Amino acid sequence: MKKTTLLLLSLVIAWGAWCQQGSYKVYAVRFASVPHPMAISFWADKGPTTDSVNIDFMVWLIKGNGKNILVDAGFLREIPEAKGFGVVYESRPDSALQKLSIKAEDITDIILSHPHWDHIDGIGLFPNAHIWIQKDDYNYYTGAAWQKDGQNGGFTKRDVRMLVDLNLDGKVTLVDGDDKEIIPGIKVYTGSRHTFNSQYVVVATGTNKVLLASDNIWIYYSLEHMVPASKGGTLDPAGYVRSMQRMKTLVSDPKFIIPGHDAQVFSKFPRVTEGVVQIE
């Protein structure tokens, strides 16, 4: 048998084994929203000012293999930044998960895409969860961001203290770099630099791979037009676009690339109950 044929066969076997490790189900769970449509230009660089997008806040549940894993943890109603954003808060993230018969103590892991307040503030709701965050993101978030000329927009001191305390308690794993399988069937990737080293998550479901971009893509418009987030949405606009290009190579269909805040997610996939869809 030729070497190229053997190589292709080994790749197929490896891919099949990786999928079988997974067999997860993936859900998007909404817990808050912005009450009025917002101009696409607010979210996507050079996007139209006359067209609008509805904005939701959500977490993602990965369920299977004896685990209940969250990607991001949402935020609590009383955080000042949420009030300033005009958010309509439907329910706490832990309460929203009860629609799937998941209790807060059932969450085994939380993969933080990045440490902005609307994605990290809810980590304290889940007492048994182990936290996964990029090492460079953690180091910047808890250190250099608060030095003179540091960039701490979207960060809150109460969340920093909470994450540091969890690390002191041995409940945080610092992921060191790109293309890392952190849990069987679940990999994380970096590149968009939404924060210092934000990450996105690829999940093997047994039939497809689902890519949870979180804020590495704010809205579908950026993915459809290959444009970066608007100003402040990335530290590296060119890298943001390269990251989206790469995402398309990691899934069988771009429909399985899920942005962080676009309400269309809840009309594109099968409805489980109000505010919950299964990504399939």
DSSP conformation letters of 242-256:
HHHHHHHHHSSSGGG
178: containing domain:
21-278
Structural domain count of the chain: 1
Q: Which stretches of the chain are DSSP H helices?
A: 3-22, 80-84, 93-97, 117-120, 135-142, 157-168, 220-225, 237-250, 265-268
5 inside domain: no
pLDDT grade for 245, boundaries at 50, 70 and 90: very high
Output the 3-class SS for 18-40: HHHHHCCEEEEEEEEECCCCEEH
Residue 34 sits in a domain of what CATH number?
3.60.15.10
Query: Is 67 domain-assigned?
Result: yes
Q: Is the pLDDT score of 18 beyond 50?
A: no
Q: Is residue 148 part of a domain?
A: yes
Q: Looking at the domain assignment, is residue 180 inside a domain?
A: yes
Within a domain: 8: no
Residue 7 domain-assigned (yes or no): no
What percentage of the chain carries pLDDT values higher than 70? Answer: 92
Evaluate whether residue 47 is within a structural domain.
Answer: yes
What predicted TM-score, i.e. pTM, was given to this entire model? 0.91
Secondary structure of the chain: what % helix, strand, coil (to 5)? 35, 25, 40
- Residue 207: pLDDT band (50, 70, 90) is confident
Note the pLDDT tens digit of each residue in 97-130. Answer: 999 999 999 999 999 999 999 999 999 999 999 9
**Residue 130: inside a domain:** yes
